[in-house]
Structure 1
Amino acid sequence: MAIGDDDLENRMSAKHHHHRGIGSKGGDRTGFGPPPRPAPLVYGGDDALLSSSPQWTSWLVPMFVVANVIVFVVTMFVNNCPAHSHGPNRRCVATFLGRLSFEPLRNNPLFGPSSRTLDKLGSLEWDKVVEKHEGWRLLTCIWLHAGVIHLAANMLSLVFIGIRLEQQFGFVRIGVIYLLSGIGGSVLSSLFIRNSISVGASGALFGLLGSMLSELLTNWTIYSNKIAALLTLLFVIAINLAIGILPHVDNFAHVGGFLTGFLLGFVLLARPQFKWLARENMPQGRRLTSKYKPYQYLLWLLSLALLVLGFVMALVLLFKGEDGNDHCRWCRYLRCIPTSRWNCDDV
């Protein structure tokens, strides 16, 4: 998120997307008529995907939350507002916090540090990344936040979205999606934005949101209520992307993170599709079988190829100093759409 009017990076809570549960309608089997068919997977249930689908304990996402909070506290300590704020118009906010007090609201309305401090600690800035070869900022910027409001909105979103995904798919896959999506958002942001700094976990969070969509699509056949789930998820994504067109909001980080997470979801979150066999035709003691579908392999290969190609091309263009706006004239509207209430000349 760009410093300024926070995108409220409010990543709508993913409670509309609670995962999985498969149940059985039950019924005693008599000798008459066909046996009952197992109930389809209910998208939004709380049960596990059959007994063979493990449930992981979520620890990585809570650790990410703690790490972000610690980094913010360190940022405020380094910022040390009382040391450089003098005069009636330079009063720090919440002075009882001492060295951790916030910058004046006229400088940062999000109750946080100065842009100078964020730049010092690793915010995303085109000049530093390209001209001074500080590529590490593509990663460090996703751990910095512009203020308490920014931090709280992001961490609540991370808890609602990330914990459920980690419980279902494990810490390795969700950790990879989170970090690569954050970097993907940073790369796209750097390609299109040169006149401001950007911080926040918005790209990583949008990556988790994108992976939820691709996970639903690649595992389509094992869900019931799939149309309702898809429409709900698309609505949540559209609202969040629409917020990004407000001034001073880094929507390129959102889009880059979302696309990265969407492709990674096809690669990392595919499940074997269960083939329900008629019980009367099954040999005694035989277990239900499952396998990946051909379309899942196709999506896996296509997504992996697009992901690698996209990262390579974007990084080459970025470090060559190319301006993405020269190659996509309309892309500027992804970040800001001018209206009678505001213009986009300074964003």
Structure 2
Amino acid sequence: MAGAGEEGGPPQQSDVRISVNSRRVSNTVHPLDGQTPPLSSSTPTSLPAPPPPGYREIKHFKKWFSWLIPGFVVANVVMFVITMYVNNCPKNSVSCVAGFLGRFSFQPFKENPLLGPSSTTLQKLGALDVSKVVHEHQGWRLITCMWLHGGVFHLLANMLSLLVIGIRVEQEFGFVRIGLLYVISGLGGSLFSALFLQSNISVGASGALFGLLGGMLSELITNWSIYANKVVSLVTLVVIVAINLAVGLLPHVDNFAHIGGFLSGFLLGFVFLIRPQFSWVSQRYALQTYSSSSPKHKFKAYQCILWVLSLILLIVGFTLGLVLLLRGVDLNDHCSWCHYMSCVPTSRWSCNTQPVSCMSDQVGGQLTLTCSNNGKTKTYSLQSPSPSQIQGLCSQLCR
């Protein structure tokens, strides 16, 4: 990429140099006409040379300090600690994992193999429950479910991915654009999930994470001209996305949230992560004495077209999705194969996601439970069990 001085010679020699600090191009100084003054022999080589006259850093390509993404990680961890405190396994369950943690101990593996709280606790704290969104007007669950996690393993996987992906893109585009992309993508993932998975609760930041991946892909497309290794970058990113979506085909993983978050982030990337073309930036940061016979436009035509189309699709998609959700529409009734996007049944696992329920019978100190899903029956020695204890035992019996 060359400076704008290539087209039409300036009336006099300028001494402006612009520094580009970006992951797409090397950290070099691009001269806009004129020669770089040589270092003086008296200047110590161990000290950095002072910037030449007219030296400016291009704000469109500068590195930002990343603080929002680490803040999101801290918020998710704090919410998980609060969730486990509220869960209080010793009080609400017959048995717990890691009992030495006291009220922070985990539900039994049969109930929650991710080392986490009960579904009742997650539902109480804001998990996505479609029936409550539709019939009890609790639309806030579409946002709160992004900050809850099903267990330690779930939390670690999401937060490590968020740090690896999020810090990099926040350094490139700043906290405002990345924060909006993260939250709106998470909302898109929750909305898409709610239109298909209406029998179970859903939690996790996966939709927002896939939104960041989708934004990275569209950013590569819309800023195609400033990448050095275009094809390699595109193939690498597509492979990463494909692998993560393939993992979502396993049971008990909400791949609909992944898909909805990715699609939202992909469209948002064309809106939020657009870069001005380099020749326009070069002209903007040249001295006022420099003039060009053919001024450049800030954005290319295809960038503007993608920006408009993406914004229209986002507005239409979110509006239509919210209307369908609030009307209680289940898209599985209109798409017989769509459930395969979230889980593919094999001989090793089943994709049955029906909520568990049990018939209970208390006689003296004996509690008898019969699972309505598989017909299993078991008797427990319990005196006046609480509803949460019964629900926990039912979950273990039906698995």
**TM-score grouping bracket, smaller chain normalisation:** 0.7 to 0.9
* SS at structure 1 position matched to 2:195: helix
How far is 1:24 from its partner?
4.7
Hey, what does 1:258 align to over in structure 2? 262
Q: Which runs of 5+ in 1 are unaligned?
A: 1-17, 32-49
Q: Deviations over 1:141-191 (max 9, x none)?
A: 000000111111111111111111111111110010110111100001010
Q: Choose which of 334, 340, 349 in structure 2 pairs with 1:333.
A: 340
More divergent stretch after superposition (105-114 vs 295-304): 105-114
Structure 1 residues 233-255: Cα deviation after superposition (integer angstroms, max 9, x where no partner)? 00000000001111111000000
* 8 Å Cα contact 1:274/1:290 also seen in 2: no
Q: Which amino acid aligns with 1:302?
A: L
Does 1:21 pair with 2:22? no
Deviations 1:234-285 (A, max 9, x none): 000000000111111100000000000000000000001113999xxx9997
Do the aligned partners of 1:19 and 1:164 also contact (CA within 8 Å) in 2? Answer: no
Q: Which of 90, 108, 112 is the aligned partner of 1:82?
A: 90
| Structure 1 residues 287 and 239, CA gap change in structure 2 (3 angstroms) | farther
User: Structure 1 residue 267 and structure 2 residue 274: aligned?
Assistant: no
Partner of 1:316: 323
Instruction: Tell me the amino acid that sits aligned with residue 113 of structure 2.
Output: P
Q: 2:46 is matched with which residue?
A: none
Partner Cα separation in structure 1 for residue 86 and residue 287 of structure 2: 69
C-alpha separation in 2, matches of 1:137 and 1:179: 13
Of residues 322-331 and 136-145 in structure 1, the stretch that sits farther from structure 2 once superposed is 322-331
Distance 1:246 1:171, change over 3 A: same
Q: Does 2:143 match 1:135?
A: no
Taking the aligned partners of 1:276 and 1:175, their CA distance within structure 2 comes to 27
> In 2 relative to 1, CA 98–298 (structure 1 residues): closer, same or farther, beyond 3 Å?
same
Aligned to 1:173: 177
Structure 1 residue 164 corresponds to structure 2 residue 168: yes
Structure 1 residues 26 and 97: CA distance shift in structure 2, 3 A? same
For 1:227 and 1:221, the matched residues in 2 are separated by 12
| Structure with bigger gyration radius | 2
Tell me the amino acid that sits aligned with residue 242 of structure 1.
A
* 1:202 aligned onto 2:202: no
Alpha-carbon spacing, 1:238–1:63, altered in 2? closer, same or farther (3 Å): same
Residue 128 of structure 1 aligns with an amino acid whose one-letter code is K
> What is the root-mean-square deviation in Å for CA atoms of aligned residues?
2.7
SS of 2:337's partner is helix
**Equivalence map 1:138-153=2 (5 Å):** 138-153=142-157
Higher percent of residues as helix: 1
Checking the alignment, whether the CA contact within 8 Å between 1:181 and 1:260 is kept in structure 2 is yes
CA–CA distance in 2 between the matches of 1:167 and 1:236?
21
> How much does 1:287 deviate?
8.7
Deviations 1:320-343 (A, max 9, x none): 111111222221110111222223
2-structure distance, mates of 1:283, 1:213: 35
Correspondence for 2:74: 66
SS at match of 1:321: coil
Relative to its length, the structure with more strand (as a share) is 2
SS at structure 2 position matched to 1:195: coil
Higher relative contact order (CA closer than 8 Å, sequence separation 6+): 1
Aligned counterpart in structure 2 of residue 219 of structure 1, from 207, 220, 223: 223
* Alpha-carbon offset, residue 30 of structure 1: 12
> CA deviation digits over 1:196-230, x for unaligned, max 9?
11100000000001000000000000111110000
Shift of 1:195: 1.4
Instruction: Name the CA distance, whole Å, in 1 between partners of 2:287 and 2:72.
Output: 48
Report what 2:312 is aligned to.
305
Where 1:291 maps in the other structure, the secondary structure is coil
Partner amino acid for 2:342? Answer: R
The answer to whether the 8 A contact 2:129-2:200 is kept is yes
CA-CA distance at 1:104 after TM superposition? 1.2
Instruction: Provide closer, same or farther for how the CA distance between residues 287 and 169 of structure 1 changes in structure 2, counting only shifts above 3 A.
Output: farther
Q: 2:13 maps to what in 1?
A: none
The alpha-carbon distance between structure 1 residues 210 and 287, as it changes in their structure 2 partners (threshold 3 A), is farther
CA distance in structure 2 between the aligned counterparts of 1:96 and 1:290, rounded to whole angstroms:
65
For this pair of structures, how many residues does the alignment match? Answer: 306
Question: Bigger shift: 336-345 or 309-318?
Answer: 336-345
Gaps of 5+ in 2: 1-21, 36-56, 355-399
TM-score, with structure 1 as normaliser? 0.82
Quick one: distance in 1 between partners of 2:154 and 2:79? 13
Judge conservation of contact 2:200–2:353 (CA < 8 Å) in 1.
no
